[in-house]
Amino acid sequence: MKVMTIIGARPQFIKAAVVSRAFREHRPDVQEILVHTGQHYDTNMSDVFFEELDIPEPDYNLGVGGGTHGQNTGRMIEKLEKLMMEIGPDWVLVYGDTDSTLAGALAAVKLHIPVAHVEAGLRSFNRKMPEEINRVLTDHIADLLFAPTETGRQNLINEGISAKKVKLVGDVMYDAALFYKEKARKPNLPIELDASPEGFVLCTIHRAENTDDPQRLKNIFQGLGNSGEQVVLPMHPRTKSKMAQSGISFPDNVWVIEPVGYLEMVWLEENCKCVATDSGGVQKEAYFFGKPCVTMRDETEWVELVEAGWNRLVGADRDDLTNALIHVSKGVESKMLYGDGFSGGKVVTSLC
Ligand code: UDP
């Protein structure tokens, strides 16, 4: 059996690392063909994950990146279609909600190759987000949908997708957090971090709704600055270029560093006081490591974290952000909301 896995962006490398390992452990007879679209191409946004997380070298790298959504998606479809026709996989496996996800699903469905989608059913109900469009379309053309949460499963059913196609498997990112936690390592930084419970705030910002709106970006940096907290911010390349264009300055208490590898990110998540982010994955990782999260978005797909009090949505409101960082509060202890840490194995057994 041949499974073609399509990945291209940072969070997909982490998710695919889990499932790829599960293939090797549970079904070594399955031939996994790993295709990197090239959507993320910087060393610290791509190569480092393959090295650290023991992901096999991609069999193909399509080198498509750096364009607009339309350019990237179109070029990926063209190249993926050709590759799929040559290789003839039994399944195409896609992850999450990026242009690579949608391109992989569209190329496959037109060739009548079954598509499986890991992290299906997530919804922000905000159609201005490119990720939301990618998710909705992918879910509606996929043949097998792996939902990480009951909310995700229910969203799919509500949209008329047959329950038979949907499997609630938990979140592969929880598997990743448990597995790689043992290997977490302190990043080598030019500053001394206060790793006490009242210590530093770990921050990431990369959603287009924030980076592409200078006013929101300005409010966020003012909010971080006014908190007076020690903030460490591994900066996404998109945010870096938007900051340079907008001329917004960094407050003195915000330490901007290059993006870190996953093992260093896990160390930062385990040792911070709280997390401030607009990332989907980082919201959950904060919870995995028992840290409160302040989310700089107007809505979230991970609604159960807000309900349980672990996640506070502040949008791009400067004062709400400042207050949330100063007065952090933990949520209620509850059963793990994202499965049992064996989601990767469940994906593999359902597929094969
Ligand atoms: N991450 C990382 N290094 C960083 C920032 C994030 O390894 O400097 C990891 C993070 O721990 C999480 C994933 O990247 O596992 C989240 O990716 P991102 O925020 O880019 O995308 P999203 O989850 O919002 O789709």
pLDDT tens figures, 214-258: 999 999 999 999 999 999 999 999 999 999 999 899 999 999 999
User: Do residues 34 and 5 lie in contact, with contact meaning Cβ atoms separated by under 8 Å?
Assistant: yes
The alpha carbon of 298 is separated from its chain's Cα centroid by a whole number of angstroms, namely 18
The bridge status of strand 231-234 relative to strand 201-204 is: parallel
The residues that bridge with 35 in the sheet, in sequence order, are 6, 60
State yes or no: pLDDT of 272 exceeds 80: yes
Beta bridge partners of 115: 92
Are the C-beta atoms of residues 120 and 151 closer than 8 Å to each other? no
* Token code pair at residue 112: 């009548």
Q: How far is the CA of 168 from the centre of ligand 1 (A)?
A: 23
Which two tokens mark 79?
Answer: 């190249």
Return the SS3 of 311.
strand
In this structure, which residue's CA is closest to atom 17 in ligand 1? Answer: 11
Q: Looking at the CA of residue 9, tell me the nearest atom of ligand 1.
A: 20
Whether 40 is a known active-site residue: answer no
pLDDT of res. 197: 84
d(CA 312, CA 39): 30
Ligand 1 pocket residue status of 280, Cβ below 6 Å: yes
**Does residue 52 line the site of ligand 1, with CB under 6 A?**
no
Query: Does ligand 1 have an atom closer than 6 angstroms to the CB of 8?
Result: no
pLDDT digits (tens, 9 = 90+) for 140-155: 999 999 999 999 999 9
Express as a percent the part of the chain with pLDDT over 90.
Answer: 93
CA distances to 4, 141, 208, 302, 319 from 247, in Å: 43, 42, 17, 32, 21
* Burial (0-12, 13-18, 19+ Cβ within 10 Å), 147: buried
Over residues 207-211, mean pLDDT? 97
Q: Looking at residue 71, what DSSP letter applies?
A: H
Token pair 């989601």 in the structure block, residue: 343
- At residue 22, does pLDDT exceed 80? yes
The pLDDT value recorded for residue 191 is 86
Q: What is the pLDDT of residue 182?
A: 95
Average pLDDT for 175-202: 93
- Ligand 1 pocket test, pick from 183, 210, 262 with the greatest ligand atom count within 8 Å of Cβ, gives 262
pLDDT value for 332: 86
Whether the per-residue pLDDT at 334 is higher than 80: the answer is no
The predicted model gives 251-270 an average pLDDT of 97
Provide the residue type at 288 as one letter. F
Higher confidence at residue 197 or residue 91?
91
Enter the tokens of residue 156: 């799919």
Please check the confidence at residue 88 and state whether its pLDDT lies above 90: yes
Question: What is the model's pLDDT at position 160?
Answer: 98
pLDDT at 196: 87
What does the pLDDT average to over 312-341? 94
CA of 11 from ligand 1 middle (Å) equals 5
Tokens matching residue 341 = 């840490």
**What confidence score (pLDDT) does residue 65 get?**
87
pLDDT at residue 333, as a whole number:
79
> β-strands 115-118, 201-204: how paired?
unpaired
Average pLDDT over residues 203-209: 97
Residue keyed to tokens 């060739």:
111
Among 113-122, 168-177, 322-331, the minimum mean pLDDT is found in 322-331
pLDDT band at 335 (very low <50, low <70, confident <90, very high): confident
**For residue 123, what pLDDT is reported?**
98
Q: In what order do the strands lie in the sheet with 311-313?
A: 254-257, 231-234, 201-204, 274-277, 293-295, 311-313
Q: pLDDT confidence of 32, banded at 50, 70, 90?
A: very high
| CA-234 nearest atom, ligand 1 | 8
Distance, in Å, from the CA atom of 318 to the CA atom of 299, rounded to the nearest integer, reads: 16
Cβ of 89 less than 6 Å from ligand 1: no
104 lines ligand 1 (CB under 6 A): no
What is the percent of the chain with per-residue pLDDT over 70, rounded to a whole number? 100
Average pLDDT, the chain: 96
How many angstroms does the Cα of residue 104 sit away from the middle of ligand 1?
A: 21
Closest CA to 60 of 32, 93, 99, 97: 32
Tell me what pLDDT residue 195 has: 87
Active-site annotation holder among 36, 40, 117, 206 = 206
Given a cut of 80, whether residue 42 has pLDDT beyond it is: yes
Where is average pLDDT lowest: 25-39, 84-98, 141-155, 237-251? Answer: 237-251
Q: What is the band of 330 on the pLDDT scale with cuts at 50, 70, 90? A: confident
Cα–Cα distance, 40 to 55 (Å, whole number)? 16
Asked if residue 10 has its Cβ within 6 Å of ligand 1, the reply is: yes
- Which structure tokens are listed for 9? 């962006």
Mean pLDDT on 46-50: 95
14 lines ligand 1 (CB under 6 A): yes
- pLDDT (tens digit per residue) in 286-298: 999 999 999 999 9
Distance in Å, CA 14 to ligand 1 centroid: 9
- For 189, other C-beta atoms within 10 Å of its C-beta total 14
